[in-house]
Amino acid sequence: MYRVGVDLGGTNITVGIIDENLTIIGRSKLKTNLPRHFDEVFSDIIRAIYFAIEDADISIIDISSIGVGVPGAVDSQSGVIDFSSNLKIYNMSIKSELEKTFNKPVFITNDANCAALAEKKVGAGRNAKNLIAITLGTGIGGGVIINDKLITGVNGATGEIGHMVIDFDGIECGCGRKGCWEKYASATALARQTKEALAKDLYKKSIIWEMIENDLSKIGARTAFEAMKNGDKIGKQIVDGYTKYLACGITNLINIFQPDVLCIGGGMSNEGDTLLIPVIRIVEKERYSLYSSKQTKICIAELKNDAGIIGAALLNEI
């Protein structure tokens, strides 16, 4: 039998079919296309599941369960998404509706929890009892595993690390607070910071202008990194500022949880050591456990964008 893993993100709806060896044998991906009514998003979730089943060349009869990872606070028991600032939904149930549609058991939790489960099972945290997995994407998500147990809290909202405030009275966040970490260290934040820096580059000295053909809409999360690698000073300034924000939040997490491993996933993790090494240097200077003989290993997540899919498929095991 096979399991379905659904990674519902602010940018894409990604689905994978997982076999008994936790190998993805079929895939599909549709744009989330926000903002729009969630009924439309839900219809595309169903479509994406069918597309993945078709890609795996199997039948719905061969599916044993469906797991869904969602950004936000999720009540795993009821299957209700209490709140997702990125999807702009409140008290929305999808578990029961998916079960009616497919006549299969459906499991649901926060998407970063799924990533943490996957990294713990077959990724960067295979030998770790205590693991934090963070995902840098549209927002910042986090999954926390302590003593081999996924921590979800009284309402399933443990791990909403992106809404840890690092700048009191800072930039307003979709959650209603100001200065949340994800407004400074997510992939979305880095793209915004790049645009803000170019707005100050009145004489267009940065090579970024040439890279984007003078079209600010072409700026992506990794544009500044590419410019920096080509010797651009403004690109380096942007990346340096972003790195400090990222390291600030990571230091906070290490100070609170003291995990064996903290792994960084999401789109930004594709920068590898270019991102990781400067972050580690800052954290090593600022962490509270400065003089401890045991230190948290900070690394890039191994499963990349597959973590959310694999972890979602594993939800029937917890």
Q: Give the per-residue pLDDT at 246.
A: 98
Q: Are 248 and 165 in contact (CB under 8 A)?
A: no
Strands 261-265, 297-300: parallel, antiparallel or unpaired by DSSP?
A: parallel
Q: Collapsing DSSP states into helix, strand and coil, what is residue 265?
A: strand
- Domains contained in the chain, CATH given: 2-117+306-317 (3.30.420.40), 127-301 (3.30.420.40)
Helix residue ranges, H only, the chain: 38-55, 95-102, 111-122, 182-185, 187-200, 208-211, 223-229, 233-257, 273-286, 307-313
Q: Are strands 63-70 and 89-93 parallel, antiparallel or unpaired?
A: unpaired
The answer for residues whose C-beta is within 8 angstroms of residue 17's C-beta and 6 or more apart is 2, 3, 4, 5, 24, 25, 26, 27, 52, 53, 55, 56, 58, 63
Predicted local confidence at residue 223, as pLDDT: 98
pLDDT tens digits, 229-281:
999 999 999 999 999 999 999 999 999 999 999 999 988 999 999 999 999 99
78-98 average pLDDT score: 84
Is pLDDT at 85 greater than 80 in this prediction?
no
In the DSSP assignment, the letter for residue 180 is B
